[in-house]
Structure formats: structure tokens, C-alpha cells
Amino acid sequence: MPDFVARPEHGIAWISGASSGIGRALALKLAGDGYKVAVTARDHEKLAELQAEASDLPGSIIVLDGDVTNAEDMEHVLASIEYEHGALALAVFNAGVYFPVHAEELNLSDFEQSFAVNLQGVVNCLIPAVRHMKAKGQGQIAVVSSVSGYGGLPTSAAYGATKAALINMAESLKFDLDKMGIRIQLINPGFVDTPVIKKNKFSMPSLVSVEEAAEQISAGLKSQRFEITFPKRFTYMMKLVNLLPYGLYFWLVNRSTGWRERPLEKHARPAMPHPAE
């Protein structure tokens, strides 16, 4: 029996981290497909702008402010969806932050904030969503991870650790969620042209736009695939690279990024988290 594939007539789509980047582009894409899309982020003004931009689309945007690091906020968001707007059919957990980590300047807050948003933030959304979908007997959940979760990359000690954890979590939950009629998928993009990637000081091959990312994710959500990954030539290469012995792996990453030749330097620290949504 095929896994459940959500459609607009099944109910509401919910996207966390929808104020910018992939989340914002995907919200517009799903609204264009006819969904009522509940969008969550901390920046109300950006969500209101998104809602206005979608006003002429077949679907609509529902603004539900909230901070994914606050479990109570996410419980309130889900309650609002359930009691004011309808059944939750599709959830895409996308909120994330990226802090470049340099071993010569390790900072506790980079790790704490990364884990709080990228990992615990997904858990805070996942628990009420699963409870709601379990009661309905069906639903679809997609977790946005990254190819950074396949293996260690320069500056990704915090970000990559959270993404690796999300990959393992989605894989592990699939066994039970399948039996509950809840479909879970894993989204592993390569490099997407969002403001956050401007922090990277190494080559980023096969860069795709947020619009292309939204198209790829939308198509993947309609498929029977567990993993939605793109651009495939790059992401499949990353999978193969991570099968190499460590000696070859580190040599190849150093060679392809030029990281070994970069001198240690003082890095300016951002004052606030930057969304990688």
C-alpha cells in the first residue's frame, strides 16, 4: 500500500522557519498549489509580507508567530491550526541557524544556539504534530536536514552535527511512524543560495536558487521517496565521498575546498543568529 501523500484537500500545510530562504519560497510554492499554509517564525513583519505576497495565489498563508526553541509556542501553534483552521496534513520542519565554527575560536554559544534551533526546534514541532496526526490516522512530515549531515565539512562542526542528528532521527522514527499511517521524509539539499551561505569561505559547487529548491522539495513531497535530495549529481557525489576511508576523505575535502591552504585568522563574530531557513 502506498504511503500517504498529502494534498490541499487533506488539510493545512505547516512550515517552520518560513520568514526567509527555503521556507519562504516553499510556502509560496505550496500556496500556489492550493494549500492553506500556516507559517511560523519569530519575525512577524516578514511573515505578514509573505502573507500579502500570496494574496493572489490559489491557496493562502496563515501567520502563526512562534519561536521553535520554545516548546510551549509550538504547542500553541498546533492548537491554533487544529481548532481554528483545520486538520494538519503536511508539516515541513525547516527552521535553522548556521554559525561557522573555527577550532581556534571555539565558542559555547555557537553550539548551544545551533542545537536549540536546528535540533531541539524540530523536536518541539514534531511532538505536537505527531500527536495530532496520530489522532487523525494519517499525515506527512518532512524534516529539512542537509548534505552537511553526511560527513564533516570545514566550519560545520555545530551545524553539521545538528543535521547529522536530524538524519538519524528521521530514519529511526520512520519505523514506527509507518505503522501509524504517518509518512516521514528527509530533505537533504546541497548548497542553496540563501544569505547564510555568504559566510562560507570555500567553493560551493552546484549552487541552486531558493525557487529551484522549493520546486525540488514540492516535487519530492508528492513522490514516494524517503529522501528528497538535490542537486542529485552533487549530493550523490557527497554520499560516495563519505564512503571513502578517512585518509582519502580528508584529503579530498581539503583539496576541493582549499581549506588546508587557508591560514588561521581572526574571524568576526555575528551579533545575532542568522537564519539558514
> For 86-134, what is the HEC assignment?
CCEEEEEECCCECCCCCHHHCCHHHHHHHHHHHHHHHHHHHHHHHHHHH
CA atoms of 208 and 146, how far apart (whole Å): 14
Q: Kindly list the catalytic residues.
A: 159
Q: Cell numbers of 44, please?
A: 512577524
User: What single-letter DSSP state applies at residue 56?
Assistant: T
Q: Where are the alpha helices (DSSP H) in the chain?
A: 21-32, 44-53, 71-80, 108-114, 121-136, 159-179, 210-221, 232-241, 246-257
Query: In this structure, how many other beta carbons lie within 10 angstroms of the beta carbon of residue 159?
Result: 25
Which pairs with CB-CB distance under 8 Å and at least 24 residues apart come from 111-116? Answer: 111/157, 111/158, 111/161, 113/273, 114/158, 114/159, 114/161, 114/162, 115/158, 115/161, 115/162, 116/69
